Amino acid sequence: MADDSSPESTTIERSTSDETSSIDEASGKTTQALDRLPQEVVITDAGPCLKHVKVTIDRAVIDARLEEKFRDLMLETPAQVPGFRPGKAPRRIVEKKFRKEVSNEVRNEILMASLEQLAEESAFSPLSPPKLDPASVILPEEGPLVYEFDIEVRPEFDLPEYRGLKLRKPVRRFTDIDRLKMQRRLLEPFGQIVPKDGPVELNDQITADLKLSYDGKVLGEYKEIVLKVEKRLALADGVANDFGQSIVGGKAGDIRKFEIVLSQELANPQLRGVTIEGELTIKDVKTIRLPELTPDILAHFGLRTPEQFQELIEIRLNRYLEHVQRKLARAQILEQLAGNANWEMPQDLLLRQAREMLKRRILEMRDLGISDDQIKARLKVMEQDALQTTMASLKEHFVLQKIAELEKIEIDDDAIDEEIEAIAERTGENPRKVRARLEKEDLMEALATEILERKALDLVLSSATYEEYPWDDDSESDDDVATVPTPAVS
């Protein structure tokens, strides 16, 4: 796939007079909107994923709106002018008294109509609202109204044929071990922490002293921290990817060493991304004793019988498998449709989009039934390499958004309501509670984007052909993560 070569500037001229009408939601009355504006739009490249837009609106539009406003002040709703009866003040006095107020009103109306018209007619796809302060736009005494702004846009690219792709699909016949793992994940929050005599295993809880060093220099020391042993460990500013492998098998009194990769966001530039050494002195080992499957625990999941709990385990396993299949399918689709694309992204855009991507990952993990504590732990890992992973996620986003655009896929309020109902059914919550939580956490826009891209992905997958292969759970699953709030670099 080759990127389109963008012209240095593009000029769009519009001069139509079709009138439109709109409904005032507050009053229910039909009000006449501005005529379609005669405006000239010049678009130039301003950098990676950035366009500069210059809009020029004919003087006749300004004069017509000013005339209409002042005529209204003279006849329809006469202005109150001290020393004159309503409607009897001379026009020149009315204009002098209300010039600033009327000019601001006309400026705002014309600017809003212009931006709406531009959104309908522009050939680019915005990634964010235009960088424009309406108060900075001045309505001139003479000549046309001219305003300019920068706007972040989706890269321009040709999309190859996306129907009939050949994809590899992981499949798995679940075993009793898989079911026991899922059962443990579901029941651990209700378990009891008890002492353990044997060696450390995954999912155990340890108390330990932690020392962190780099090139022979101690960066930080922490006494008697408590943490769960997972495959990975996330600190406030670093991640140990082989933590579980290094700790499993240890016992009280043992010293275990492992590597920690520091964040690229550290204040000290000399330590960004470097690998340091962690040394853990194990003080105590405990394990989590799973509870009996009581009626209260069943009720927490909206169930009544142990048989229903086993059905829930199967549902969760299949949902997770589907998640893995779709994740890998997205990566393959991206590779086939945009593998050779080289889109340059400005750093500030990546940072903002990284935050949006993390919001969507929250929705995905909740959909899989992952606990809030584990979501927070996984987010720690994602934040460490957010900029690196955001580029690939953005490419997926651009491709799926363009497919949605070509297929005229849109998301309305009904689709969002249906998704909230589905989330509520899966989590056993009231839909109003789900909506309130999403709004509070600023996830509604992320939810709409997720629905749109899912529909686009479903369209591509429905026409694809598949080569199935056995799914290796360890190699393609999202590993569980332990967290400690302490920083590696104190």
Tell me which of 289, 317, 340 is where a domain ends. Answer: 289
List CB contacts of 454: < 8 A, sequence separation 6 or more: none
* 270: CATH: 3.10.50.40
Same domain, yes or no, for 230 and 320? no
Q: Which of 422, 453, 423 has the alpha carbon at shortest distance from 437?
A: 423
Q: Answer with the one of 270, 289, 308 that is the final residue of a domain.
A: 289
Give domain status of residue 160, yes or no: no
How large is the average pLDDT for residues 257-285?
Answer: 89
For range 106-131, the mean pLDDT = 85
pLDDT, residue 356, reads: 73
- Residue 24 has what pLDDT? 36
Q: What would the pLDDT profile of 176-231 be if each residue is shown by its tens digit?
A: 999 999 999 899 999 999 999 899 999 999 999 999 999 989 998 999 999 999 88
Q: In terms of domains, do 282 and 306 share one?
A: no
Task: Look at residue 428 and give its three-state secondary structure.
Answer: coil
d(Cα 415, Cα 452) in Å, to the nearest integer? 9
The domain boundary residue, chosen from 271, 289, 307: 289
The amino acid at 148 = E
**Domain tally for the chain?**
3
What pLDDT, in 10s, does the model give residues 367-426? 766 767 767 766 666 666 565 667 777 788 888 989 998 999 999 999 999 999 988 887
Query: Does a structural domain hold residue 64?
Result: yes
How far is residue 84 CA from its own chain's centroid?
58
- Domain range spanning residue 115? 9-152
The tens digit of pLDDT for each residue in 365-380 reads 777 667 677 677 666 6
Regarding whether 394 and 367 lie in a shared domain, the answer is yes
Residue 103: pLDDT band with limits 50, 70, 90: confident
Residues 264 and 302 in one domain: no
**DSSP per residue over 303-354, as a string?**
--SHHHHHHHHHHHHHHHHHHHHHHHHHHHHHHHHHTT------HHHHHHHH
Q: Which of 10-24, 60-74, 410-424 has the lowest mean pLDDT?
A: 10-24
- pLDDT value of position 268: 84
Question: Do 113 and 227 sit in the same domain of this protein?
Answer: no
Question: Is 70 exceeded by the pLDDT of residue 239?
Answer: yes
Please check whether residues 122 and 202 belong to one and the same domain. no
pTM of the predicted model as reported, rounded to 2 decimal places = 0.65
